[in-house]
Homo-oligomer: A and B are copies of this chain.
Amino acid sequence: MDDLKLNRHISGQFNAELEHVRNQVMIMGGLVERQLEQSLVAMMESDIELANRIIEGDKKVNAMEVSIDEECTRIIAKRQPAASDLRLIMAILKTIADLERIGDSAERIATIALDKKLDPKSTMLVNVEGMGRQLLKMLHETLDAFARMDVEAAYQVHRKDREIDQSYEALLRQLMTHMMEDPRAIPHVLTVMWAARALERIGDRCQNISEYIIYFVKGKDIRHVDNKTLRQTVARS
């Protein structure tokens, strides 16, 4: 935390509280990461039991969001943080909302395992898995940037979303062709399409989190700004 210049507080207790809530976010992030990783395994091994464990595990993710949220509100009320401390709390509040939704996406992917008509060896699912691995890496990098509050790393994550969108578009086209060639498979292909969509949304969520990191460090809200302004904000020391 020293690097984040948070150790100037007279109250050591305040420091401990900020440290604790930050650790909770990392634990929640680790949990969501594991959910996503396991959802890809469940999908590729048609493992119904694992899929059900993931669906059950999402409740834990939800509970963590609520508890971190409460802790942040308590800190604001009790410590009346200002400047960068307040920005940190704000960034955390938003980050956990996105993490919770990444958890929902993992749950969605796990449900593929429950569709017995879907063959894990099909090109379709192999490609979804490929995209899933891409997202898993992106999520890992996002959480890593968050842990270190690293603006440059956050910026790299932010840029990556374009690649994800391209993978998604390619996958959609492929799924669409598949539907046109074999109309009877449509309901199953749609299950895969929703999962692909869920993956694409994870990219957006990682992008959001990277924006909160930049907001915390740079003190500037860069949501919806153009690429040039974003690059300039990140570069400014």
Q: Which residues of A contact B (CB under 8 A)?
A: 59, 62-63, 65-66, 69-70, 73, 76-77, 80-83, 86-87, 90, 93-94, 97, 176, 179-180, 183-184, 186-187, 190, 221, 223-224
B residues near A59, Cβ cutoff 8 Å: 224
Given contacts A80-B80, A221-B70, A223-B62, are A184 and B180 in contact (CB under 8 A)?
Answer: yes
Min CB gap A170→B, angstroms: 15
A176 contact set on B, CB distance < 8 A: 186-187, 190
| Nearest neighbor of A72 in chain B, beta-carbon distance | B90
The residue from B62, B63, B86 contacting A73, defined by CB atoms under 8 A apart: B86
Residues of B contacting A77 in the complex (Cβ-Cβ under 8 angstroms): 81-83, 86
What CA separation (Å) do A120 and B35 show in the bound complex? 42
A86 to B183, CA, bound (A): 54
Contact A186 B190 (CB under 8 A): no
Most chain B CB neighbours (cut-off 10 Å) among A63, A80, A87:
A80
Whole-angstrom distance between the alpha carbons of A129 and B93 in the complex? 35
Nearest neighbor of A190 in chain B, beta-carbon distance: B176
B180 and A69 form a contact (CB under 8 A): no
Residue pairs across A and B with Cβ atoms less than 8 A apart, 11 shown, are: A59-B224, A62-B224, A63-B224, A66-B223, A73-B86, A80-B80, A97-B97, A176-B186, A176-B187, A176-B190, A179-B179
Neighbouring B residues of A62 by C-beta, 8 Å: 223-224
